[in-house]
Structure 1
Amino acid sequence: MASPISSAIFFFFFSSFSFAFALSWSSSIEVESKVVGGEGAEPVARESFPIDGDVAWVVQVSDLHLSSYHPDRADDLVRLLAPALRAIRPSLLLITGDITDAKNKRRTSTRQDISEWIQYSNSMEAIVKYSGIDKRRIFDIRGNHDKYGVPYVGHELDFFSTYSVSSQLRRPSTVQSISLVGDDRKYIFIGIDDTLSIGIRGPSNLFGHPTEKRMAVVESELQYWDVYPSDSVTKILFGHFPMSFTASSEKGQRYESLFARQSVSSYICGHLHGNFSRQLWRLHPSKLSSDVLVPRKAKGFWEWELGDWKESRLIRILSIDGGVVSFHDIELLRKHDVRDEFQTTIVITYPADSRNMNNMEQNNQSFRNDINALVFSTQQIINVTAKVFDSFREYKIMEEVPLQLISAVDKPLFHGKWNAESYRSASATRYLLQVSVVDSQGKETKSNLRPFSVEGKLAHYASTWLAYLVFQVEWQSLYMVLLWSNFSFLVVFLCLPKVLNYLMERNASYQKWATSHVISSPIKRRKSLFVLFWFLMEGSRNRILWFSMVMYLLCLLKLPWFWGYATSENENIAAMYLSGWRVQSPDSHAILDKLGNPDLMVITLPFMYLVVTPMFILIYSLFAERSSFYLQFCRKLRHKNGPVASNIELEQVTQFVPSNLTRGISTSSTCKFCQGWTRGSLLSGCLIITLVHFKICLALMLAYGVGPVSLSPALSWAPPVFLVATIYSTSANINTEQR
């Protein structure tokens, strides 16, 4: 017979989940009765700028995170970035998302702050004034922070549409296309805004979400330039989200295959901040072949993440020289006691770094016999020299090549001739290049030693395990593996012992089997396999709690986990499911389903792995510990009074409590509360799980509202109620002295 509290818990969960299911069912009916507003096809914002010659360079800045509580970030934009732009004079300035921080002072909730956007607008106006850059050459796109809590584009909280440079220049499209037209070449830059159509508040707003229509627009824009010879067009894309944090489209399409098909050279992004590694580089290879008689040629594109402005004050100078793409990252000085002067910077545009070059495996045997380098300085440059080192000969200098300023073009480009045939090598890292510069004040500046390969061989670059995990792994796929493997484990964990119990009880063999292994044998002779099966079977014998756990798992699969303010606190309450958020769109009043998946992995994975799974294991462990106490008690009786007496006294025990050896333990145990160190350890585990659960719930309450989240039974109430019911069922006392 079930204990009163177990029955009450069962009916409580049944009624709560029935109410949640009814609410969910009614919401689904509302979805079907309304027309879901789709995203309209947006025109591409195209801009074109001429360049002098065929060497171009742009500056990228990412993750500014301008904050009302950290005004130094905006101040440094003017103090540091403006002098840098004045010295570099780039063709474009690309700001790749997360312009504002959009968080409160304690960083516990996300919301748009108009003062942060005013900071940004004022800073950009000052940068244009002091750097001399043409404002039309500045392109900014949204990041996930810039979309936090924005119900839709054009909402009063959509400050990007008012204060961004792109909006002020009437470039509202999510796809921006910029072409730099040189003498013989064209360099195409395409910016992509893949933020959520409805700006879910953090933390469930982490991934880029391309749509089928947007991907079609991007592909069409890339094909637009195919009318020109392929060797005269270089295609570079920029966005906020790296590929590892970009979800698939509605039909499962991904950018990687699209970029490879359209011969994209590189994709530059931000988002990850790169504090753990300054070399977040990734080559996306793709084997393409149009003729079976022609050897398959390796094609692909590079992905380069840039660290943040927020903490590191990093900028990137990306150069294109005859289709060869190179880059150099600079950490601007932040010392207020020194003169805010841009330091001399060297960018070698050719030959490219063999660790990340985009002109791999050349078929032609003729090589460019030139060395090109851009030198940016506030001082007059007196001497520029390139040195070639041989790492196989203890870094001996093989050649010194003087570089001369090309006066025919209005750019700081230095050029020199060499014999590239002399540097053929089977190794892509044997030869290294360094350029040294001497300015008018006698100060010498040297570039880093960089390996090169005139034959187009790609060198391997070292990467940390953390950089590989974050940047190389496709997190959408990994999330699905982690999530469904956890649910599969819990299904087996619940169902397998129940099936074994049914089969053994049906054959009346469980009493004999358990008695022979536990009562008749010393503890040290138990086999590990038996202990495992016994633990599972005893833990699942409380029918009420077992059935409640099954219902709870089904509810997590199909019903809402919690409700909350998904966007702004002034908007409607929305429900979060395992498949994503279900939100009513304020602009079209349609119900949009499955928003923010897999972004909610930061909610679901910690809850499943740190709360639900250990909770189920502890529930089984507490019941198994109680059964172990029964069996140990019976074994002691056998040693004390003999087998016959122990069997008699065991029958007397079952007069008070139905035997777990025959019909299962469904009432209270004879063991005392905290009986021994084993039970104490289990109760300590329950306390730890409760604390972890409280921390998760508190974070969600601060993010989506205290009231709605706290009143959500699946998330807030279920785990502690399950643990309390289990502890009560396994710790009530029976006066065994009457036996």
Structure 2
Amino acid sequence: MPFSKTAIYLLCVLLLLSIFVTNLLNSIATDHSYSENQREGENFTKYLADKYGRITDAKENLIWFMQISDIHLSIFRDPGRISQFQQFCDNTVKKIKPAIVLATGDLTDAKAKDNLGSSQVKTEWIYYHNIIKESRVTEETVWLDIRGNHDNFNIRTLNSQENFFRNFSVQGKTYPKSYVHYEEKNGVRVAFIGIDACPEPGLRRPFNFVGILDSQEQQQIRTLQAEANAKADHIVWFGHYPTSCILSLDTGTEKLDLRTLIGDSKGSQVYVCGHLHTMAGRVPKMYTRHRKGYMEIELGDWKDNRMYRLAAIDHGIFSFVDQKHNTWPLVLVTNPKHAKYTLPGREPLQLIPDSTHLRILAFSDVNIDTVQISFDKISWMNCKQSEGPLYVCQWLPHLFLRDINYLYVTVSDELGKEAFVEHPFSMDGSTLNFDIMARILLMLDARVVFQAIFGSLLLMNVLPLVYLRWQRQPPTCRRRLTRYVLRSLWLLSKIDKIYYPIVLYAVYVPLGPWAVGELIDGHVGVVFAWGILIKGTFLPEPFTYMYGGVQLLFIQIPLIFVLSHTLQKRLYSSYSRGLKRLIENLPFIMLLSVQLLLAYFFWLEYGSLAFIFGPLRTWSVLLSVALWYKILTLSPDYCRKLVHLNEHTPS
């Protein structure tokens, strides 16, 4: 029995979909990372195990540090960001006493009062500088800050006077870009490598979302990595952008693959970052383990959520917990290791089954009263304080050698505040899965994703009309609404003066310039789908694809349906006046309002020149109006021809 065309099309779609899903799952797989470097990993973890020895109740071989990200200090909105950041430096850091504090970018907001314009605001940087200085937090710990994309808005060059990071940050005067800091405490040697992927020049928003590593910065990072491999047992990488949002330029020599470079460092355990703000709370635990075996963990923002992170390396084993500001007590279990976050081949997990004590870091803004642990929530044992925030309790690890087990911890302070922690662990290699959305966001390449979305929307914009134009009759369908839509689109595709402008616009979008304007104060640039030309430099900023995708999704594709609906009304409805005529054209009026709003936002972002010379946003308004007007003014003869064409097609 021969297959129908519909069945063949469906099979093709299913085949393409299955290939896509297979490739996606393979790209975000986290369960086979250790096998890539198994022999090297075994040798390294044996070295760490021999160095640190047995895990007991002593404070040696333990170091802890903190991270804060996306602070967004602003003089225009939410003054609590400033006052509570002051509390963080004055109280929280001094209570926890970390060896290091990592401030991973977007230190200031750098957005105008209208929330659309963007430029460096000196007063915001003065707030940042004064809070750190007046709190004397740098006398208590080492403060390692680095730039984020907001700290790079509207910056012509690294040495321009608008780059306030140089003068008002802690590390900016010494390290304006990527750098390394070494810390040795309690017998643990750690290299903290900061990655500054801010492009030069730094454009105003929104075309400043993806980090770019040029040839000079790629070479600098390679040098830092080689040096850290020789000097430290552990490497903690930090930066603002997730690795999925960092693009390495092709320099003609060997292009840097940041994920591979991090993975090839034997001591690399984690890359910590910010930038994605937990996707507005939709992915609160954005953590994953990469193919090379190290973890990447994005920290929720300080801006809206007031989050910070405590992390520790205890006998070579990395642990962390994310906490909301002013939530006490703070609890971090360092032994046994959390089952989800184990790093085979990068930490001496073999020390856990042979350990004599459970180890817990507990902090509060007042004295800790009790720390208790249980394995069944029935029998509770008291932990004793070893030294400082370290609490320990003897245990029998041989009772938990199989499967996932659970440790329960309760901590209370002298004011009666309590914290409860459920801590899964395993010693036979059993693990828990990472959230799939976290893996997608951190393990895919943002550029490829943006291009795929843009390309798909572009095809959706033009292929249906092209297909329908070549059909002698509209596709049949049982559903009345679907049949109505298909017939309307089919009729629309037959009008040359509508069809060709839509198709030509779709061809223009990926090729022609979208806007010509002052992308940086004093410098005119040209925006294309595939990048931006400014100051004689080409920036392959992939976020342009998402920006164009918004235009296609919310303007161009709806426009086609609105025009086809208007055409049906034009052909089969009698001429109406007043309110009825307004209601009939309401879909187009609403669409035009959205289009004008987007053009207005673009004017606020990049000024009058970009608004006037803006084919993507401004000129498309004129195109929409022209096409709509063309349908409303079709000649009666042409209308009769279309009606005749429609009526002589099978129902």
TM-score by length of 1: 0.69
**Partner of residue 548, structure 2:** 604
SS in structure 2 at match of 1:166: coil
The counterpart of 2:428, out of the listed 455, 461, 486, is 455
**Partner of residue 335, structure 2:** 350
Asked whether 1:372 is paired with 2:359, we answer yes
Residues 146-185 of structure 1 correspond to what in structure 2 (within 5 A)? 146-168=151-173, 170-172=174-176, 174-182=177-185, 184-185=187-188
SS in structure 2 at match of 1:698: helix
Q: Given residue 388 of structure 1, which amino acid in structure 2 is its aligned partner?
A: S
Q: Deviations over 1:403-443 (max 9, x none)?
A: 3414xxxx4333343221111222x2x322315356xx585
Relative to structure 1, is the Cα distance of residues 485 and 681 closer, same or farther in structure 2, using a 3 angstrom cutoff?
A: farther
**Partner of residue 9, structure 1:** none
Asked whether 1:616 is paired with 2:560, we answer yes
Determine if contact 1:58/1:317 at 8 Å carries over to the other structure: yes
**Partner of residue 88, structure 1:** 96
Relative to structure 1, is the Cα distance of residues 267 and 167 closer, same or farther in structure 2, using a 3 angstrom cutoff?
A: same
Determine if contact 1:256/1:284 at 8 Å carries over to the other structure: no
Relative to structure 1, is the Cα distance of residues 704 and 673 closer, same or farther in structure 2, using a 3 angstrom cutoff?
A: farther
1: CA distance, partners of 2:82 / 2:446: 32
2: CA distance, partners of 1:455 / 1:180: 32
**Partner of residue 390, structure 2:** 413
Asked whether 1:479 is paired with 2:450, we answer yes
Residues 252-263 of structure 1 correspond to what in structure 2 (within 5 A)? 254-263=257-266
Shifted more, 374-383 versus 137-146: the winner is 374-383
2: CA distance, partners of 1:573 / 1:368: 63
- What is the CA distance between 1:76 and its match in structure 2? 2.5
SS in structure 2 at match of 1:189: strand
Count of residues in Structure 1 that have an aligned counterpart in Structure 2 = 572
Q: Deviations over 1:213-232 (max 9, x none)?
A: 5344334433334447xxx8
Q: Deviations over 1:488-518 (max 9, x none)?
A: 2334234334444xxxxxxxxx6xx79xx9x
Determine if contact 1:672/1:733 at 8 Å carries over to the other structure: no
Determine if contact 1:612/1:719 at 8 Å carries over to the other structure: no
Q: Deviations over 1:610-644 (max 9, x none)?
A: 11222234444544665x64xxxxxxxxxxxxxxx
Relative to structure 1, is the Cα distance of residues 167 and 285 closer, same or farther in structure 2, using a 3 angstrom cutoff?
A: closer
Q: Deviations over 1:377-411 (max 9, x none)?
A: 455556544x2313xxxx443x63633414xxxx4
2: CA distance, partners of 1:420 / 1:525: 66
Relative to structure 1, is the Cα distance of residues 277 and 448 closer, same or farther in structure 2, using a 3 angstrom cutoff?
A: farther
**Partner of residue 528, structure 2:** 577
**Partner of residue 619, structure 2:** 717
Gaps of 5+ in 2: 1-58, 639-651
Asked whether 1:140 is paired with 2:119, we answer no
1: CA distance, partners of 2:235 / 2:417: 35
Q: Deviations over 1:278-298 (max 9, x none)?
A: 742322342xxxxxxxxxxxx
Q: Given residue 356 of structure 2, which amino acid in structure 1 is its aligned partner?
A: N
Determine if contact 1:58/1:90 at 8 Å carries over to the other structure: yes
Relative to structure 1, is the Cα distance of residues 425 and 128 closer, same or farther in structure 2, using a 3 angstrom cutoff?
A: same
Residues 298-697 of structure 1 correspond to what in structure 2 (within 5 A)? 299-333=292-326, 343-359=328-344, 364=350, 366-377=353-364, 379=366, 384-385=371-372, 387-390=373-376, 395-397=377-379, 400=381, 402-406=383-387, 411-426=388-403, 428=404, 430-436=405-411, 441=414, 443=416, 445-460=418-433, 463=435, 474-500=445-471, 535-568=488-521, 571-584=522-535, 591-595=536-540, 597-623=541-567, 626=570, 629=572, 672-673=574-575, 683-697=585-599
1: CA distance, partners of 2:287 / 2:478: 55
Q: Given residue 262 of structure 2, which amino acid in structure 1 is its aligned partner?
A: F
- What is the CA distance between 1:88 and its match in structure 2? 1.5
Q: Deviations over 1:242-270 (max 9, x none)?
A: 23433454378643333233342111111
Determine if contact 2:371/2:409 at 8 Å carries over to the other structure: no
2: CA distance, partners of 1:444 / 1:702: 48
2: CA distance, partners of 1:119 / 1:414: 37
2: CA distance, partners of 1:161 / 1:362: 40
Determine if contact 1:622/1:679 at 8 Å carries over to the other structure: no
Tell which structure's C-alpha radius of gyration is larger. 1
Q: Deviations over 1:58-96 (max 9, x none)?
A: 111111111112444223222343112222111111111
Determine if contact 2:328/2:418 at 8 Å carries over to the other structure: no
- What is the CA distance between 1:182 and its match in structure 2? 4.2
2: CA distance, partners of 1:374 / 1:355: 19
Shifted more, 531-540 versus 182-191: the winner is 531-540
Q: Given residue 175 of structure 2, which amino acid in structure 1 is its aligned partner?
A: R
**Partner of residue 43, structure 2:** none
- What is the CA distance between 1:558 and its match in structure 2? 1.7
- What is the CA distance between 1:694 and its match in structure 2? 0.8
- What is the CA distance between 1:314 and its match in structure 2? 2.3
Relative to structure 1, is the Cα distance of residues 600 and 352 closer, same or farther in structure 2, using a 3 angstrom cutoff?
A: same
SS in structure 2 at match of 1:188: strand
Relative to structure 1, is the Cα distance of residues 381 and 542 closer, same or farther in structure 2, using a 3 angstrom cutoff?
A: closer
Relative to structure 1, is the Cα distance of residues 538 and 313 closer, same or farther in structure 2, using a 3 angstrom cutoff?
A: closer
> Over aligned residues, Cα RMSD in angstroms?
3.7
1: CA distance, partners of 2:88 / 2:163: 28
2: CA distance, partners of 1:370 / 1:577: 60
Relative to structure 1, is the Cα distance of residues 487 and 381 closer, same or farther in structure 2, using a 3 angstrom cutoff?
A: closer
SS in structure 1 at match of 2:158: coil
**Partner of residue 64, structure 2:** 57
SS in structure 1 at match of 2:180: strand
Relative to structure 1, is the Cα distance of residues 673 and 574 closer, same or farther in structure 2, using a 3 angstrom cutoff?
A: farther
SS in structure 2 at match of 1:98: coil
Gaps of 5+ in 1: 1-51, 287-298, 334-341, 501-509, 518-522, 585-590, 630-670
Shifted more, 527-536 versus 78-87: the winner is 527-536
Relative to structure 1, is the Cα distance of residues 376 and 526 closer, same or farther in structure 2, using a 3 angstrom cutoff?
A: closer
Determine if contact 1:575/1:583 at 8 Å carries over to the other structure: yes
Q: Given residue 422 of structure 2, which amino acid in structure 1 is its aligned partner?
A: L
SS in structure 2 at match of 1:557: coil
2: CA distance, partners of 1:618 / 1:270: 41
Q: Given residue 403 of structure 1, which amino acid in structure 2 is its aligned partner?
A: K
Q: Given residue 491 of structure 2, which amino acid in structure 1 is its aligned partner?
A: E
Asked whether 1:702 is paired with 2:646, we answer no
**Partner of residue 7, structure 2:** none
- What is the CA distance between 1:175 and its match in structure 2? 1.7
- What is the CA distance between 1:478 and its match in structure 2? 2.1
Residues 218-229 of structure 1 correspond to what in structure 2 (within 5 A)? 218-227=221-230
Q: Given residue 66 of structure 1, which amino acid in structure 2 is its aligned partner?
A: L
Relative to structure 1, is the Cα distance of residues 206 and 539 closer, same or farther in structure 2, using a 3 angstrom cutoff?
A: same
Shifted more, 181-190 versus 318-327: the winner is 181-190
TM-score by length of 2: 0.78
SS in structure 2 at match of 1:140: strand
Relative to structure 1, is the Cα distance of residues 111 and 227 closer, same or farther in structure 2, using a 3 angstrom cutoff?
A: closer
